[in-house]
Amino acid sequence: MGHLNDDGTYVVSDDDRAAFERDGYVHLTGLLRPDEVDELEVVYDRFLRREIDVAGRDYCDMAGDYGRDPSDYSIINVMLPRRYHPAWQGNIYERRTAQVAAQLCGDGMDIDYDQLLAKQPHKDDAVFAWHQDMAYWPDTPDRRTATFWLAIDDSTVDNGCMRFIPATNAEGALRPHAPVFGGRGESHALGTDLLDGDVVVDVPIARGDCTVHNERVMHGSGGNSTAGYRRAYVLAYRSVETIAIERELGFTHSHNDAGEVLDSVGVAEQTR
C-alpha cells in the first residue's frame, strides 16, 4: 500500500501501480495529512460561498442544465479553480500529486485541469452519470492520464462516493456517449448506459485519501442522501504533448471554451 513519508514524498507501491494499470483506477490512502486538507478546505469553501469569482459556465451543476438556479445545484462544479485563484497554483495537493503522477504514468506529465465537485446535502439526484473521461476530450496520440480525486469529506456510498467498473479501460472501443440533459449547449454532462455483465465497485474513501483514474475506465457516482456535503477536489494530469495539442485546438476544459457548445463529435470513432 502507498504511504506518505515524513519528508512529504508519497511512495506508490507495486500493487498500487498494478491496480491502476489493470483496473484503470487505484485508491491511495493518506495522500494528504489532515492539516494539509484543512488548509485547502479554507479556499474550497470560499469557492462554494462564491467569494472567488468564476466566469460563466465554469460555475455550474453537473447534475442539471445550465439554466438551473445555483441555490438548487445538486453537484456544484467549479472548473479550473487554479485559474480563478492563482494562489492555489503550486499548492500542497499539486506538489504531492506531481510526484505520484510520475510514478504511475512516467515522465512528462503536467496538470491539464483542476475542478471542484461538491454534492449538496439531501440531493438524491446528485448523480454523476456513468462515463469514460475520453468521451469528453479530443483524441491525442499520447493518452496517458492520471486524474486525482481527493476527498475533502469522507466519501461514502450514502453521500455519493466514486464508483468504477474495473478494467473497462481495457475494452477495445470507447462506449457511445450522449448528453444527459438536452444537448451540449444546455449542459455539460455526457453519459453512457451500463451493459449486462458490468460489475460496479463503490469506492468509499476517507478525507485526505484519493482515487486516481485513467481516461478510459467507466466511472460515476450516486446521489447524496446525507445531511452533509460530499466535496471532492479533482486534479488531472496528462502528457505535456497532449496538453499542447488540446490548447492548440482551443480546448482548456473551461465550459466557456468556444467548442463546448457543439455536440461532441468523433467519440464513437475512438477505438484504441
* Residues making contact with ligand AKG (CB under 6 A): 117, 128, 133, 147, 149, 162, 219, 221, 232, 234
Q: Which is nearer to ligand AKG, 13 or 217 (CB)?
A: 217
Q: Who contacts 26 (Cβ-Cβ below 8 Å, separation ≥6)?
A: 16, 17, 19, 20, 104, 211, 212
Neighbours of 176 (CB within 10 A): 11
From the CB of 14, what's the least distance to ligand AKG, in Å? 25
Instruction: Find the residue with minimal CB distance to ligand AKG.
Output: 221
Q: Which is nearer to ligand AKG, 13 or 82 (CB)?
A: 82
Determine which helix (DSSP H) or strand (DSSP E) holds 98, and give its type and residue range: helix 92-105
For residues 130 and 191, the answer to whether their CB atoms sit within 8 Å is yes
Q: Which is nearer to ligand AKG, 13 or 97 (CB)?
A: 97
70: left (phi over 0), alpha (psi -120 to 50) or beta: alpha
From the CB of 112, what's the least distance to ligand AKG, in Å? 12
From the CB of 234, what's the least distance to ligand AKG, in Å? 4
Q: Which of 199, 171, 173, 178 shows the shortest CA–CA distance to 129?
A: 178
Q: Which is nearer to ligand AKG, 7 or 163 (CB)?
A: 163
Place of cell 438524491: 124
First to last CA, the chain: 30
Rounded-to-integer distance, Cα 68 and Cα 59, Å = 11
- Residue 45's alpha-carbon distances to 80, 92, 174, 234, 261, in angstroms, are 15, 17, 36, 15, 29
Q: Which is nearer to ligand AKG, 32 or 76 (CB)?
A: 76
From the CB of 202, what's the least distance to ligand AKG, in Å? 12
Position 100, amino acid: V
From the CB of 113, what's the least distance to ligand AKG, in Å? 10
Q: Which is nearer to ligand AKG, 11 or 194 (CB)?
A: 194
From the CB of 250, what's the least distance to ligand AKG, in Å? 21
